[in-house]
Amino acid sequence: MRKSRILFHRFLKWRYRHISNQQFVSIASAIIGFLAGAGAVVLKNVTHFIQELLEGKIIGEFHRAFYFVFPIIGLLLVVLFIKYIVKKKVGHGIPSTLFALSQQRGIMPRHQMWASLIAAPITVGFGGSVGLEGPTVATGAALGSNFARLSHLNQTTRMLMIGAASAGAMSAIFKAPIAGIVFAVEILSLDLTLASMIPLILASTTAILTTYFFMGDDVLLHFQLQDKFILKDVIFYIFLGVVSSVVSIYFSKMYFGLSGYFEKIGDSYKRLVLGGILIGVIVYLVPPLYGEGYEVINSLLKNGYAEVLKNNIFNITINHVLLIALFLVALVIFKVIAMTLTFGAGGIGGVFAPTLFTGSIAGYVFALLINYSDVFQHKLSTGNFALVGMAGLMAGVLQAPLMAIFLIAEITGGYELFVPLMIVASISFIITKKYIPHNIYAEELAKKGQLLTHDKDLTVLTLMRLESVVEKNFIKLGPSMTLRNILYQGVAKSTRNFFPVIDKDDKLIGIILLDDIREAMFNQKLYDTTTAKDYMSHPPDNIVYETDSMRDVMAKFQKSGAWNLPVIRKGKYYGFVSKSKMLTAYRRQLINFTQ
């Protein structure tokens, strides 16, 4: 072990001498792209193996009651795996990546490199109604982060490596390299500059080549464009954009509501029992909700709803169009519920696949009802509308309209649907954004003021840490101290021009400015007759260490007009933040970020 470390340090020294930082970043991006692609291959193959074994053989050959049993078993295995083997929290894919970027200086825990590779396939393979894209991105991002740490790369480059790994992961999953790059820019708020573009391209290309090498030409979504876009369809695509926004709002609201309910349940086993039983019942009653749901999407895109209706317990036949539409709408409604229950019960997965699932069905049902109606006398392509519906949900739920457009365009192998994609994605995004300010990935971070955005000022503030600007070298005064003691024990020994007044419980009750005692300090009659209480004043505002973000701190400085504000931690005095030091730290962070 020691010998390997010595060899590695020798390699680093050789690298510093012979390879420039820019060249090494390019090489590292290609390596990270390969690792992200390999991670995607492993996740997909293991999941499909489990799902084929359980759903294809056991359920198909024995009894459909296993639809109820398997999700509960899978969730139990995941909870036990995390509790007794990982022994650390396993984040939900993309949100954990965003948290690492904004709050952990691009450092992701090592267990994230392998934990999702085991937990996610068990969750999905056993019937959990979630996707694999989020865990794939988190795995790739963790590999990129730790590779950058191992190579002693700085924070800015480390964050770039996470973005490159994420782009590679998305590129590998869908075999859509451009969409992978747009994902890193739009979801992770990575700046697309000349410096970042080459690493993103290299990682995305390497990742997709890796999947081609191991999996051949097989793609996740099977579709061949047969019906061209015609001008008469524009009005219907506009309506589809509105429908997509309504479904997106439902999707987000239901997810936030159910997730909040499960968060209130402290015991992980109670969450497991409640969520596991409910998801088991839903999957038993509606088998198309088992797993990711790409089989349903591919069936709608290729053969229509006939495959989806096979073996349904409601005995719906292909001749009852309205009943079919109602069944498909139920799939949309309960997919979101099943997904959230899977998360609430302790499963590991992502929301990307459920988003595509609900979007494809929403678009398909819309076209199906228009075709069934005698009002419009116009036939729509159900396959095209299912595809564009996926883009509409991505634009609304994920609030990533550009990625939605490019992903579907790459899946279809051309740009025939580019105009309807732009129409539906933009309308869905605009309407949803009005009611849901942040996407599912970013909502929690946004509430805490910890979300990175393309606004450089806000991003720099988010990357700053309050602890780095807190000053503690102030002499504390007691409220009953006389003016004499203030002068001899405080003013004479301090280089500061103000002093915190602290009670016996170390709580801040006021501050004394040097200007407040300037006249009195030359009047010796007041030395023993006046105390700190006579001179102290209340600060214009307080900074709460546990809850105030750097954005909040800057806002408090602007609102109060103060140059120094006290920091309260756990209800007690902790120190002061000065505006001058904060602006200096801001300038330093801005330079590091832009470099």
Within-domain flag for 226: no
512 and 530 housed in the same domain: yes
Within-domain flag for 535: yes
Residue whose C-alpha is closest to residue 162's, from 148, 145, 176, 150: 145
Tell me if 342 sits within 8 A of 128, measured CB to CB.
yes
Within-domain flag for 224: no
pTM: 0.80
527 and 439 housed in the same domain: no
379 and 504 housed in the same domain: no
Beta bridge partners of 568: 544, 573
Dump the DSSP string for 105-143. TT---GGGGTHHHHHHHHHHHTT-S-BSHHHHHHHHHHH
- Tell me the HSE value of 187 on the side-chain side, using a 13 A CA sphere: 33
| Contacts of 386 by beta carbon, 8 Å cutoff, 6+ apart | 297, 300, 301, 360, 361, 363, 364, 367
130 and 154 housed in the same domain: yes
**Of 451, 468, 491, which closes a domain?**
451
φ/ψ of residue 498, rounded to 5: -150, 160
Within-domain flag for 225: no
Packing angle, helices 321-344 and 234-263, rounded to 10: 40
CA of 132: how far to CAs of 278, 293, 555, 583, in Å?
A: 21, 11, 40, 42
CATH of the domain at 310: 1.10.3080.10
Q: Where are the beta strands (DSSP E) in 232-383?
A: none
Q: Evaluate the CA torsion angle 564, 567, 573, 578 in order and state its sign.
A: negative
405 and 331 housed in the same domain: yes
Supply the range of the domain harboring residue 370.
231-451
168 and 282 housed in the same domain: no
Please state, in angstroms and rounded to a whole number, the distance separating the CA atoms of residues 427 and 439: 16
Within-domain flag for 220: no
- Tell me the HSE value of 390 on the side-chain side, using a 13 A CA sphere: 30
**Looking at this protein, which amino acid is placed at residue 415?**
Y
155 and 84 housed in the same domain: yes
User: And the tokens for 198?
Assistant: 């080459």
Within-domain flag for 223: no
**Of 451, 483, 510, which closes a domain?**
451
498 and 446 housed in the same domain: no
468 and 549 housed in the same domain: yes
H/E element, 351: none
Within-domain flag for 177: yes
| Contacts of 487 by beta carbon, 8 Å cutoff, 6+ apart | 517, 521, 527
Domains contained in the chain, number: 3
Packing angle, helices 382-393 and 352-372, rounded to 10: 140
Cα 152 versus chain centre, distance? 26
10 and 60 housed in the same domain: yes
pLDDT at 337: 94
| Contacts of 263 by beta carbon, 8 Å cutoff, 6+ apart | none
Task: Compute mean pLDDT per 10 residues along the chain, 595 residues long, and list them.
Answer: 70 76 88 92 91 74 73 91 88 79 82 90 90 90 89 84 92 90 85 80 94 81 76 93 96 92 86 90 87 85 74 68 87 93 90 92 93 82 91 93 91 81 96 89 66 62 78 88 86 84 89 84 84 87 86 86 88 88 78 61
200 and 301 housed in the same domain: no
pLDDT at 452: 59
CATH of the domain at 487: 3.10.580.10
**Of 215, 241, 264, which closes a domain?**
215
Please state, in angstroms and rounded to a whole number, the distance separating the CA atoms of residues 52 and 62: 14
pLDDT at 447: 62
473 and 559 housed in the same domain: yes
Within-domain flag for 376: yes
